[in-house]
Amino acid sequence: MPLNTEPYTGWGRVLTGTGGRLRPEKTAGLKHIDLGPAVGALRSYGDAALNEKPSVDMTRLDRMLAFDAETGVLEAEAGVPLTTLLDTFGPRGWMPAVVPGTGYATLGGAIAADVHGKNHHAAGSFGQHVLSVRLIGADGVAREVSETAEPDVFRATLGGMGLTGIIESARIQMMACPSMLVDVHERRMPNLAAYMEAFEDSTATFSVGWIDATGTGAKLGRGILEEAEFATRETPFWKPRKPPKPVPFNAPGFALAAPVVRTFNQLYYSRISTTGRKPTKPIAAFFHPLDGLIGWNKLYGKRGFHQFQCVLPTESAALTLDAMLREIGQSGLAAPLAVLKKMGPGRAGPLSFPMAGYTLAVDFTNRPGAAPLVNRLIAQTVDAGGRIYLAKDSLAEAQQMAAMYPELEGFRATLRALDPAGLFETDLARRLNIRGMQ
Amino acid sequence: MNETWIILGASSAMARAFARDMATQGDALLLCGRDTADLERDAADMALRGAAPARVFAFDTRDPESFMPILEAGRASKGVLNVAVFAGSMPEQADIDADPSLVAGVVTDNFTAAAAFLMAIAPEMEARGAGVVVGIGSVAGDRGRLGNYVYGAAKAGFHTFLSGFRNRMGRSGVQVLTVKPGFVDTSMTWGLEGMFLVASPSDVAADIRRAIKKRRNVIYTPWFWIGIMTIIRTIPERIFKKLQI
Ligand SMILES: Cc1cc2nc3c(=O)[nH]c(=O)nc-3n(C[C@H](O)[C@H](O)[C@H](O)COP(=O)(O)OP(=O)(O)OC[C@H]3O[C@@H](n4cnc5c(N)ncnc54)[C@H](O)[C@@H]3O)c2cc1C
Ligand SMILES: NC(=O)c1ccc[n+]([C@@H]2O[C@H](COP(=O)([O-])OP(=O)(O)OC[C@H]3O[C@@H](n4cnc5c(N)ncnc54)[C@H](OP(=O)(O)O)[C@@H]3O)[C@@H](O)[C@H]2O)c1
């Protein structure tokens, strides 16, 4: 099978994978290749899916294999994009129990990063709805792992960032999808305190907030909270969404300069009236608002961008968020895309990101000052007893790993038994010394 | 009334994308290819997308015996019967130069096997007085190039066959669509040097779907290849023979 040696990047386009990719189009193809770590849809931002040696692109092994309409249990190959599951089963009353902010993420990528969605506070993480995984180990053989068969390996695979092996296929428990529409309630949040109070009071099934990361002073932490419930009335008719439109070229450097972003954010905030707004939206538009614009990461220009995403424990979250938002606001480096969300405790594996508390995600164009700022934010996260999301990171350092991921040692022990030679090691694992061999 | 599609070379990423679209419409699919175990996974996938039903058949261009069960199943189908030919092969020209015995196989895979199959099913389609034949050719068939002239010649043969076949089948109301893709992101091109303007298999599938709806005869996909090929075709032979394109 030919190796495509073209360099490739994650969604942030700052770091580059140099080892090339193999791309089997048939299951049998997986048996005749030199093994390397898996690559999904490359919707992780940093170097999670990058490698200096050959990797295995799983996007063509994307078939749904079996579905039980009584129980909502689905078996599918790892390369299937979550949006396909939503489109196929939504109209029949089922959907993945957890969907991240992009529907292009693959089933394998969603398991490997143990992704969270807008219902994390109640539904937990993606991995908590995985029943079993067919995992290709370092010996090249695929085997079924689950809560009963090799439970340590199973759990290490949920959120294990591909380091335990290649996920060939998986069985997941889907959740009921009573409607293809959601009733959304959008409200202005004038500042951080009001915002967090609203999250604490929220009883909504889905909740997420846009935050104006350029806000300073009295406007610090202002934003728009979106809460949503499945629409209860009959879906009048359901049209498949319009085909997405591509961003044709890299945006010029000034497109996201500080004054532009401040103006944009002001308009974006004011578009919601003081009394709020209650639109009804297709679920795909609510879950994946940016998927209609293919390659929107090019809007950050060819130098790429960083996303900083942390989760902070509930007790100290207000204080830490306040300090972080001050620093971000003063820097003038933030892009419009910034998200605040309250998380529940749900997590599936030792390397899973979620913890009970607040998660903040902010994009920064990769220009001078951005990386040092993100590094300071990461240090603040570590000090606060929080953690950063490995699927988004490209800047953290190895010595910060253990503090953020207390179960790291156990994960390392599992890896030592599973993959002593490091066949599935990625650039991320090398940078953060996740395997603990350096 | 739902239709039936015979898909030859169903493991191609282009075929998969097209068959999925047909499955979503609720059509019945006969998925034909060599790796039947893998095609069973596609059949399961197509069924979940709405195919009614999707069945798998062993098909090898080099083994005409393998055509029989597929032809029979086609004849046994109800309603409109359609055929889409995606099967093809493109060995390195250098390998063929080194071993000319490979020529026959390339011609079989890209042209004569499909021609023989289509002629065998033709009377059935004529009798039904409806249906579509989709034949995947290639821009490579528009002019012989240094880099893949045997493959190009086989595709050219297929184009010419389809043109005459269209003339015949059109009289019975059967549409024959010749599809000439440029570069498409499939296993055939993965890792090859010098690829540009590479289209996704689902873009190609969408173009085919539109062309069927508009009852087109010949399409280039993506559309801009018609311009590129017009230029390439008009280069005088005395100049073209010296080019390295
Ligand atoms: C716009 C946008 C919004 C997002 N919103 C969210 C969100 O709300 N919540 C959230 O949790 N995440 C979110 N993400 C991040 C994204 O969901 C994760 O990075 C996810 O892992 C991407 O899946 P992928 O298929 O693109 O995997 P890749 O990015 O290609 O790979 C990610 C990791 O998964 C591993 N992997 C992929 N496939 C396999 C496999 N078959 N077997 C083993 N390992 C595998 C890789 O080795 C790598 O470590 C968002 C990303 C974008 C671009
Ligand atoms: N990719 C491009 O850029 C491009 C451009 C122009 C035209 N095309 C044409 O598009 C069609 C689809 O190709 P692709 O790009 O999707 O590449 P592909 O994956 O190699 O598809 C070729 C198909 O032909 C089948 N095939 C090959 N030899 C066969 C045989 N002896 N018997 C039965 N089936 C055989 C393959 O089956 P197996 O899986 O069993 O091998 C596969 O299904 C081909 O006709 C190709 O020539 C491709």
Q: What is the pLDDT of residues A26-62, one digit of tens each?
A: 999 999 899 999 999 999 999 999 999 999 999 999 9
What pLDDT digit, counting tens, does each position of A62-114 carry? 999 999 999 999 999 999 999 999 999 999 999 999 999 999 999 999 999 99
Cis peptide before B53, with omega less than 30 degrees from 0? yes
**Contact between A156 and A346 (Cβ < 8 Å):** no
Tell me which DSSP letter residue B109 carries: I
Ligand 2 close to Cβ of residue B25 (< 6 A): no
At A254 the pLDDT is 77
Three-state DSSP state, A297:
helix
- Decide if B11 and A27 are in contact by the 8 Å CB cutoff: no
What pLDDT digit, counting tens, does each position of A288-299 carry? 999 988 888 988
The CA distance from A275 to A281, in Å, is 19
- Closest ligand to C-alpha of residue A169 is 1
The CA distance from A304 to A394, in Å, is 12
B35–chain A Cβ distance below 8 A for any pair: yes
Q: Within a 10 A sphere around the Cβ of A121, how many other Cβ atoms?
A: 22
In this prediction, residue A253 has a pLDDT band, given cuts at 50, 70 and 90, of confident
At A236 the pLDDT is 57
A171–chain B Cβ distance below 8 A for any pair: no
Q: What is the mean pLDDT of residues B94-99?
A: 97
The CA distance from A290 to B231, in Å, is 39
- Decide if A3 and B191 are in contact by the 8 Å CB cutoff: yes
CATH number belonging to the domain at A181-396, selected among 3.30.1360.40, 3.30.70.250, 3.40.462.10, 3.40.50.720: 3.40.462.10
Retrieve residue A297's tokens.
Answer: 């990461």
Closest CA to A377 of A393, A366, A398: A393
SS3 content of chain A, % helix, strand, coil (to 5): 30, 25, 45
Q: What is the mean pLDDT of residues B134-155?
A: 97
Retrieve residue A311's tokens.
Answer: 């989760």
Retrieve residue A124's tokens.
Answer: 């937990």
> Which residues in chain B have Cβ-Cβ distances shorter than 8 Å to A60?
13
Ligand 2 close to Cβ of residue B135 (< 6 A): no
A5–chain B Cβ distance below 8 A for any pair: yes
- Decide if A64 and B45 are in contact by the 8 Å CB cutoff: yes
Instruction: Please state, rounded to an integer, the average pLDDT across all residues of chain A.
Output: 95
The CA distance from B4 to B25, in Å, is 11
> How many angstroms separate the CA of residue A66 from the nearest CA in chain B?
7
- First and final C-alpha spacing in chain A: 32
- Decide if A2 and B191 are in contact by the 8 Å CB cutoff: yes
The CATH architecture assigned to B3-240 reads 3-Layer(aba) Sandwich (3.40)
Q: Return the amino acid letter for B76.
A: A
Selecting from A3, A27, A88 the residue whose C-beta is nearest the C-beta of B41 gives A27
Q: What is the mean pLDDT of residues B191-220?
A: 95
Q: What is the mean pLDDT of residues B21-32?
A: 97
Chain A residue with Cα closest to B44? A65
Closest CA to A36 of A55, A18, A23: A55
Is the pLDDT confidence value at A184 over 90?
yes
> How many angstroms separate the CA of residue A61 from the nearest CA in chain B?
10
B 108-127 → A contacts, CB under 8 A: none
- Greater confidence, A248 or A277? A277
At A241 the pLDDT is 61
Query: Phi then psi for B218, rounded to 5 degrees?
Result: -135, 130
What pLDDT digit, counting tens, does each position of B36-70 carry? 999 999 999 999 999 989 999 999 999 999 999 99
Retrieve residue A14's tokens.
Answer: 């700052």
- Decide if A28 and B37 are in contact by the 8 Å CB cutoff: yes
Hey, of A5, A22, A26, which one would you mutate to test binding to chain B, going by the most B CBs within 10 A of its CB? Answer: A26
Tell me the percentage of chain A whose pLDDT exceeds 70.
Answer: 98
B42–chain A Cβ distance below 8 A for any pair: yes
Ligand 2 close to Cβ of residue B35 (< 6 A): yes
Selecting from B11, B48, B191 the residue whose C-beta is nearest the C-beta of A67 gives B48
- Decide if B190 and A2 are in contact by the 8 Å CB cutoff: yes
At A240 the pLDDT is 58
Is the pLDDT confidence value at A425 over 80?
yes
> How many angstroms separate the CA of residue A3 from the nearest CA in chain B?
6
Which atom number of ligand 2 is nearest to the Cα of residue B9? 43
At A248 the pLDDT is 79
What pLDDT digit, counting tens, does each position of A306-324 carry? 999 999 999 999 999 999 9
Residue spans of the domains in chain A: they are 181-396
Question: Sheet harboring A55-57: ordered strands across?
Answer: A21-22, A55-57, A38-39
> Which residues lie across from A106 on neighbouring strands?
A81
Strands (E), A11-162: 16-17, 21-22, 38-39, 55-57, 64-68, 73-77, 94-96, 130-136, 142-146
Ligand 1 close to Cβ of residue A39 (< 6 A): yes
Ligand 2 close to Cβ of residue B88 (< 6 A): yes
Chain A residue with Cα closest to B190? A4
At A231 the pLDDT is 95
Is the pLDDT confidence value at A199 over 90?
yes
Give distance in angstroms: CA of B100 to centre of ligand 2: 20
Is the pLDDT confidence value at B22 over 70?
yes
- Decide if A63 and B42 are in contact by the 8 Å CB cutoff: yes
Nearest CA to ligand 2 atom 18: B12
The CA distance from B20 to B34, in Å, is 19
**Contact between A15 and A46 (Cβ < 8 Å):** yes
> Which residues in chain A have Cβ-Cβ distances shorter than 8 Å to B11?
25-26
The CA distance from B157 to B110, in Å, is 9
Tell me the percentage of chain A whose pLDDT exceeds 90.
Answer: 86
Selecting from B44, B49, B187 the residue whose C-beta is nearest the C-beta of A66 gives B44
Retrieve residue A298's tokens.
Answer: 């090019």
Residue spans of the domains in chain B: they are 3-240
